[in-house]
Structure 1
Amino acid sequence: MIRLARLVVLAATLAAPSVAGAGPRDMVVPAQVIYPGDRITESMLSDTPAPNGDLTGILVERGQLVGKVARRTLLPGKAIPAVAVEEPRAVSMGGLVQLVYQADGLTIVTNAQALQNGYVGQVVQVRNIESGIVVSGAIQADGTVLVNGG
């Protein structure tokens, strides 16, 4: 009777998932070739069983990928390293942007050329096209660059 009880406990232990080795059961991989500069969409991804071993630096969830931009070619069925994707750029070096200056209720809008790539919230340098003056401003969600007076 004691042996039967031990056998039942052993079987239950083997059938239960291990907490110490718990990890993602599935991971996300490209379903197709994703080229550098492509914005990753839900339809470009598929699920595959996660391999045993260290997944440090590997993106395994859709939320970590959808909406990001590939920095290099991503191959179908292959793990996606975190360094292979980035946030989409709001401003590209050499591109035209609207430069907005605000101070004391005064708003001035002019065109400028971005001198560096940037993401929403990042401070970048731009050159005012009319005056040639280089200023720094924060990239807004609408793609404008905001320079506060003061």
Structure 2
Amino acid sequence: MRASAIVVLVASLGGWLAPNARALAQDVAAPTPKAVIYPGDVIRDDMLADLPSTTPRGPLPVAETRAAVVGKMSHRTLLPGAPIPLDGLDKPRLVSIGAQVQIVYVEGGLTITTFGAALQDGREGELIKVRNSDSGVTVMGAVQADGTVRVSG
């Protein structure tokens, strides 16, 4: 295809895209809670409804898709009919203070596991302190996706 034909094709598509881009963007329904979501609640898809495109979004960044909020934990009260602010969401807490957690140490082919009491809340990837139940020694490790705490030597 010659360069002039490509320019004509792009120009003709641009004529269609420009006026329709705003309409297409407005057709995307942002999520809103069906009922009040409280701090500490993990958001599920069945807790959400579609926000009408005419609802004002406000100056803060808000969730534009359900994928941006499902599985996240709210750390503020979210009200029905209102946009969900992104700064009101976080990864869910996998470890709670005082909970018994499995401590895992892996070095080469050697794996050692024991149990301990979490001294801090933790989300995936965060470093927390855990007291070894057998020795009483406090260790620090990273919270894994399965809720275990991985320590290194």
Map of 2:103 onto structure 1: 99
5 Å matches for 1:23-62? 24-25=26-27, 26-50=29-53, 51=55, 54-62=58-66
Match for residue 122 of structure 2 among 118, 121, 131: 118
Residue 144 of structure 1: CA displacement?
Answer: 1.0
Map of 1:16 onto structure 2: 19
Aligned residues: 136
Amino acid at match of 2:100: L
After TM superposition, the structure 1 stretch with the greater mean CA deviation from structure 2, 115-124 or 61-70, is 115-124
Residue 42 of structure 1: CA displacement?
Answer: 1.1
Residue 82 of structure 1: CA displacement?
Answer: 1.4
Larger radius of gyration: 1
Residue 138 of structure 1: CA displacement?
Answer: 1.5
Unaligned runs of 5+ in 2: 1-14
Secondary structure at the aligned position of 1:16 is classed as: helix
Question: CA 1:148–1:53 in structure 2 vs 1: closer, same or farther (change >3 Å)?
Answer: closer
- Give the TM-score normalised by structure 1: 0.76
Residue 131 of structure 1: CA displacement?
Answer: 1.5
Name the % identity: 44
CA RMSD in angstroms, aligned pairs only: 2.7
Match for residue 75 of structure 2 among 49, 71, 76: 71
Secondary structure at the aligned position of 1:59 is classed as: coil
Tell me if structure 1 keeps the 8 A contact 2:51–2:83.
no
CA shift digits 1:96-130 (9 cap, x unpaired): 10111223433221111112111122222111122
Map of 2:139 onto structure 1: 135
Map of 2:113 onto structure 1: 109
Amino acid at match of 1:88: P
Question: CA 1:48–1:135 in structure 2 vs 1: closer, same or farther (change >3 Å)?
Answer: same
Secondary structure at the aligned position of 2:87 is classed as: helix
